[in-house]
């Protein structure tokens, strides 16, 4: 059964929010057998009907203004067609008498029975619905989020109608409503408060919070928060091991996902160049110092151990050899940087135990492996919302 929510007691419009066909922004996961499964969130199974004012909708949203204009045009066309069908049975203002086999003279009493009739005007109508209201049906939106946004549009900002704080999940659902209905200006004051409160906790950067990261990217885009958008997209470009997935009921722009993955692939390609150069130097022995040979003819320096440890670690992380090709599925610059740190830490400890720490430090200083990778990772810029000339990029 539909739930009715009244925002305007004198409403001339009824907004009908259909239940979501799927969970909101489910993150695709895979079990041990590789079978896709989905993290779901509960959603309503019934329509929600919201009584609102068409005037408030038109003033707040160009999208609503277009919808109402289309409905008004359709209603006018329907009224015109109905009027035309009513007058079609008239000829010169007189009802046409039935055909008679006999000739009827002007003085015939039969003719006097047919008098001039004028069709009554059709009353103006704004809706074909039985309740006389304009009905606007919305799909793909969360009912609670839509109700919250429409309360803001109508100036009904009491604590029972518009919350002072929201969760990241709730804000993402609100952002979808705002995005689809073009209501950024109407909710700006509330949105700034909600975003600032959540941002105090920071943008997630671990692999266990990938869905939250995508929600943050979308929220920052919708509410035009440049700093947050740049930070969140930078984290995505450095942490993710593939392109952003498409999440149901979350209309993240495809260009945003594409540009993030372009940055991800570019920095991974540069990191692999650094790794390949380090391996070549160790293989060729082109570092400044030579190898120390003991009395038995064995190499005693840590360069060989560093090479072996590096190759083994890279192989374990599917980074080298052979070198992975773009789009580098399963690879991130963060993972490459961590692997290099682990290798050099392991080698340094081993070299210290065998008394070769000094040579190992010289090797590290010449390779500059971890500093280069750290600088490369730090140099990822993330995405900007606007160009240098102030144009929106997405």
Burial of 221 (0-12, 13-18, 19+ CB in 10 A): buried
Spatial separation of the C-alpha atoms in residues 142 and 50, rounded to whole Å: 13
Nearest Cα to Cα of residue 75 among 136, 124, 135: 124
- Domain parsing of the chain, residue ranges: 3-69+132-165, 264-378
Q: Which CATH class is domain 3-69+132-165?
A: alpha beta
Return the structure tokens found at 363. Answer: 């090797």
Report strand pairing: 3-6 vs 48-52: parallel
Q: What is the pLDDT of residues 88-126, one digit of tens each?
A: 555 455 555 555 555 545 554 444 443 444 444 333 344
Q: What is the pLDDT of residues 195-216, one digit of tens each?
A: 999 999 999 887 678 999 999 9
pLDDT at 248: 92
pLDDT at 250: 96
- The residue with greater pLDDT, 343 or 24, is 24
Range in 202-206, 278-282, 296-300 with the lowest mean pLDDT: 296-300
Confidence of residue 356 (pLDDT cuts 50, 70, 90): low
Return the structure tokens found at 5. Answer: 């929510």
Q: What is the pLDDT of residues 43-93, one digit of tens each?
A: 557 899 999 999 999 999 999 999 999 988 887 887 787 777 766 555 455
Q: What is the pLDDT of residues 122-159, one digit of tens each?
A: 333 445 567 889 999 999 999 999 999 999 999 998 87
Burial of 381 (0-12, 13-18, 19+ CB in 10 A): exposed
- Is it the case that residue 358 has pLDDT exceeding 90? no
Mean pLDDT score across all residues of the chain: 81
CA angle centred on 315, ends 312 and 317, rounded to 5°:
110
pLDDT at 206: 73
Q: What is the pTM of this model?
A: 0.81
pLDDT at 40: 47
Mean pLDDT value of segment 184-198: 97
Spatial separation of the C-alpha atoms in residues 340 and 344, rounded to whole Å: 6
Reduced to 3 states, what is the DSSP secondary structure of residue 392?
strand
Mean pLDDT value of segment 385-391: 92
- Is it the case that residue 181 has pLDDT exceeding 60? yes
Mean pLDDT value of segment 300-325: 73
pLDDT at 5: 92
pLDDT at 157: 84
């Amino acid at each position: 059964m539909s739930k009715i929510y009244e925002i305007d007691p004198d409403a001339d419009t009824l907004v009908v929010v259909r239940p979501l066909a799927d969970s909101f922004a489910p993150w695709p996961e895979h079990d041990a057998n590789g079978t896709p499964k989905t993290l779901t969130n509960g959603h309503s199974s019934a329509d929600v009907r919201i009584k609102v004012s068409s005037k408030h909708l038109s003033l707040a949203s160009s999208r609503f203004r277009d919808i109402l204009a289309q409905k008004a045009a359709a209603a006018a066309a329907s009224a015109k067609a109905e009027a035309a069908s009513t007058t079609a049975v008239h000829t010169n203002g007189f009802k046409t008498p039935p055909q008679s086999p006999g000739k009827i003279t002007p003085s015939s009493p039969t003719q006097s029975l047919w008098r001039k009739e004028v069709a009554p005007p059709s009353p103006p109508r704004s809706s074909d619905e039985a309740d006389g209201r304009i009905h606007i049906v919305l799909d793909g939106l969360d009912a609670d989020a839509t109700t919250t946004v429409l309360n803001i549009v109508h100036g009904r900002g009491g604590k029972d109608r518009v919350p002072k704080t929201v969760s990241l999940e709730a804000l993402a659902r609100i952002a979808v409503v705002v995005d689809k209905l073009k209501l950024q200006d109407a909710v700006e004051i509330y949105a700034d408060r909600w975003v600032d409160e959540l941002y105090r906790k920071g943008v997630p950067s671990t692999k266990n919070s990938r869905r939250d990261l995508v929600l943050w990217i979308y929220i920052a885009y919708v509410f035009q928060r440049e700093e947050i958008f740049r930070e969140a997209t930078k984290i995505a470009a450095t942490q993710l091991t593939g392109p952003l997935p498409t999440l149901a009921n979350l209309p993240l722009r495809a260009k945003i996902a594409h540009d993030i993955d372009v940055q991800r692939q570019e920095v991974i390609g540069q990191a692999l160049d650094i790794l390949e150069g380090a391996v070549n130097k160790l293989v060729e022995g082109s570092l400044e110092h030579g190898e120390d040979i003991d009395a038995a003819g064995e190499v005693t320096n840590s360069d060989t151990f560093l090479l072996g440890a590096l190759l083994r670690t890279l192989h374990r992380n599917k980074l080298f050899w052979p070198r992975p090709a773009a789009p580098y599925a399963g690879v991130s610059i963060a993972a490459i940087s961590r692997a290099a740190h682990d290798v050099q830490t392991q080698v340094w400890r081993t070299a210290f135990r065998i008394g070769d720490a000094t040579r190992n430090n010289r090797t590290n200083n010449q390779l500059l492996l971890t500093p280069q990778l750290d600088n490369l990772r730090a140099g990822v810029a993330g995405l900007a919302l606007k160009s240098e000339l102030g144009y929106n990029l997405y």
